[in-house]
Amino acid sequence: MKPIRIIGFAVLALIWIWLVWAILAGNKLTLINLFWIAASAIIIFVPLWRKYGPSGTADNESSGKKAGKNAPRRK
Protein backbone atom coordinates (compact mmCIF):
# COMPACT_ATOMS: atom_id res chain seq x y z
CA MET A 1 0.00 0.00 0.00
CA LYS A 2 1.32 3.44 -0.89
CA PRO A 3 2.10 5.83 1.98
CA ILE A 4 -0.49 8.37 0.84
CA ARG A 5 -3.20 5.70 1.01
CA ILE A 6 -2.07 4.69 4.48
CA ILE A 7 -2.31 8.33 5.59
CA GLY A 8 -5.76 8.67 4.01
CA PHE A 9 -6.92 5.46 5.66
CA ALA A 10 -5.60 6.70 9.03
CA VAL A 11 -7.31 10.09 8.66
CA LEU A 12 -10.59 8.41 7.78
CA ALA A 13 -10.23 6.10 10.78
CA LEU A 14 -9.55 9.05 13.09
CA ILE A 15 -12.63 10.90 11.80
CA TRP A 16 -14.72 7.76 12.28
CA ILE A 17 -13.40 7.29 15.83
CA TRP A 18 -14.16 10.94 16.59
CA LEU A 19 -17.73 10.56 15.33
CA VAL A 20 -18.21 7.33 17.31
CA TRP A 21 -16.92 9.10 20.41
CA ALA A 22 -19.40 11.94 19.79
CA ILE A 23 -22.28 9.46 19.48
CA LEU A 24 -21.29 7.63 22.66
CA ALA A 25 -20.63 10.84 24.61
CA GLY A 26 -24.10 12.17 23.81
CA ASN A 27 -26.02 8.96 24.43
CA LYS A 28 -25.89 5.91 26.61
CA LEU A 29 -24.28 2.75 25.34
CA THR A 30 -27.23 0.81 23.96
CA LEU A 31 -27.59 -2.08 21.58
CA ILE A 32 -28.93 0.15 18.81
CA ASN A 33 -25.93 2.49 19.16
CA LEU A 34 -23.58 -0.48 18.94
CA PHE A 35 -25.44 -1.67 15.86
CA TRP A 36 -25.07 1.72 14.12
CA ILE A 37 -21.38 1.90 15.01
CA ALA A 38 -20.72 -1.60 13.68
CA ALA A 39 -22.79 -0.97 10.55
CA SER A 40 -20.96 2.28 9.81
CA ALA A 41 -17.59 0.58 10.30
CA ILE A 42 -18.54 -2.19 7.88
CA ILE A 43 -19.87 0.27 5.30
CA ILE A 44 -16.78 2.47 5.47
CA PHE A 45 -13.86 0.14 6.06
CA VAL A 46 -14.68 -3.19 4.39
CA PRO A 47 -14.78 -1.83 0.81
CA LEU A 48 -11.60 0.15 1.41
CA TRP A 49 -9.84 -2.88 2.88
CA ARG A 50 -10.96 -5.10 0.00
CA LYS A 51 -9.66 -2.59 -2.54
CA TYR A 52 -6.45 -1.40 -0.88
CA GLY A 53 -5.68 -4.16 1.64
CA PRO A 54 -2.81 -6.64 1.39
CA SER A 55 -4.58 -8.87 -1.12
CA GLY A 56 -6.07 -5.98 -3.12
CA THR A 57 -4.88 -5.25 -6.64
CA ALA A 58 -5.09 -1.45 -6.67
CA ASP A 59 -1.32 -0.94 -6.30
CA ASN A 60 0.08 -3.85 -8.28
CA GLU A 61 -2.34 -3.85 -11.18
CA SER A 62 -0.32 -3.43 -14.36
CA SER A 63 -2.77 -4.15 -17.16
CA GLY A 64 -5.38 -1.61 -16.08
CA LYS A 65 -8.24 -4.13 -16.25
CA LYS A 66 -9.46 -6.75 -13.85
CA ALA A 67 -11.33 -9.89 -14.74
CA GLY A 68 -14.91 -9.22 -13.75
CA LYS A 69 -18.40 -9.58 -15.09
CA ASN A 70 -17.45 -8.68 -18.65
CA ALA A 71 -14.42 -10.96 -18.85
CA PRO A 72 -14.55 -13.73 -21.44
CA ARG A 73 -15.63 -17.06 -20.00
CA ARG A 74 -13.50 -20.16 -20.24
CA LYS A 75 -15.08 -23.36 -21.45
| Each residue's pLDDT tens digit, 6-57 | 898 899 999 999 999 998 898 888 899 999 999 999 999 998 888 887 776 6
**What's the number of domains the chain is made of?**
1
Structural domain contains residue 69: no
In a domain, 44, yes or no: yes
Please indicate, yes or no, whether the overall pTM of this predicted structure exceeds 0.85. no
Give the confidence band of 63 by pLDDT, cuts at 50, 70, 90.
very low
Does a structural domain hold residue 66?
no
CA distances from 28 to 18, 66, 68 (A): 16, 45, 44
Domain range enclosing 35 = 3-52
Q: Determine, yes or no, domain membership for 10.
A: yes
Which of 38, 47, 49 is closest to 16 using CA atoms? 38
Residue 59 within a domain: no
Q: Is residue 62 part of a domain?
A: no
The rounded distance, in Å, linking the Cα atoms of 69 and 75 is 16
Q: Is residue 8 part of a domain?
A: yes
C-alpha neighbours within 13 Å on the C-beta side of residue 13:
10
